[in-house]
Structure 1
């Protein structure tokens, strides 16, 4: 725990990432409370729509940090990855929280659960993997932007240089997600169909 606080104290960007993540959930909770408990739909809409501003703030902080002469590090790559996944999965997270909050506090229907098997499950896995691809593409675009802003490749090697750079890491994440998601679901569905036909 002490090492974590030391890392945060030495790296303002790491603090910004933590604050953006905490801020997302605080703004989301505030928006849902305003909608379902306080009946302030306009205030709720403003709060929920403003969540992308946190991502924009993090991007600005990252650019300013590098423009000030800083050298890209693993934290900058983490910030870009956070931005990508926040943009790609943010709407899904809001919908997930909204369904559960409405069911718990406003008598809404039970939350929709992902299908467990069959073509619907496979389609679900493809959609989730597509979001992963989008998230990684956004993160790589952000890192490319940071490299362009810095203008010195040597200062941004932590972002793109294999094997430890963040771009190769995101490629690995995409491949693992594909194998554990759509491919595994497709193969397991084929195995079940084969066993059912034999029976």
Structure 2
């Protein structure tokens, strides 16, 4: 496994460590500003990943699947980051602090709308990550094999289409209680 692959693992772990540390600081130690600061550190994890990936390619590394996953990770984190933190925040309050309303289980059209919102976010993440992948392909030029980068772009596109098809199906066959 190369440097970028390991860095993706470290960044994913760091993302959740910052979220958990932020929530614990915010709700257990009642330090709202410090907790918010820790939660706000999650985007910097992405910046580190992006910089290291760029440096690795700049130094002549042959693009691998890890290099192509880095823009995916960054785009998904940008698009879903706030909602992921909100999701963790709600559950932490209810299950750990025993405060606030129980997170509701969505059903019917409410679930269909929520699923479609997530699928549209996925489209946005694909556009951002796809633009980053295309920039990497353009930056690398024709001297290096960019097959892995193109393959990731194609497979991710198929996944986005499937995700949207599933969300649309919930409008036809709503989720039951």
TM-score when scaled to structure 1?
Answer: 0.82
- Pick aligned residue for 2:173 from 167, 185, 188: 188
Larger gyration radius, structure 1 or structure 2: 1
1:93-119: per-residue Cα shift (whole Å, max 9, x none)? 11111111111333422343352102x
Contact 1:73 1:158 (C-alpha < 8 Å) held by counterparts: yes
What are the within-5 Å matches in structure 2 for residues 93-104 of structure 1? 93-104=84-95
Please list, as runs of the form range in 1=range in 2, the aligned pairs for 1:145-160 lying within 5 A after superposition.
145-152=135-142, 154-160=144-150
CA RMSD of aligned residues (A): 1.7
Cα offset, 1:75, TM superposition: 1.3
Q: Which residue of 1 aligns with 2:96?
A: 105
Deviation track 1:109-156 (CA, whole Å, cap 9, x = no partner) reads 2343352102x2222121010111111112111112222332336432
Partner of 1:133: 123
Q: 1:21 aligns with which of 9, 12, 19?
A: 12
TM-score by length of 2: 0.91
Question: How far apart, CA to CA, are the structure 2 residues paired with 1:33 and 1:153?
Answer: 49
Larger relative contact order (Cα-Cα within 8 Å, sequence gap ≥ 6): 2
Gaps of 5+ in 2: none
Contact 2:91 2:103 in 1 (8 A): no
Q: Which runs of 5+ in 1 are unaligned?
A: 1-6, 193-199
* Alpha-carbon distance between aligned partners in 2 of 1:153 and 1:53, rounded to the nearest angstrom: 32
Q: How many residues align?
A: 175
- Structure-1 separation of matches of 2:25 and 2:139: 40
- 1:89 matched to 2:80? The reply is yes
Q: 1:170 aligns with which of 156, 173, 177?
A: 156
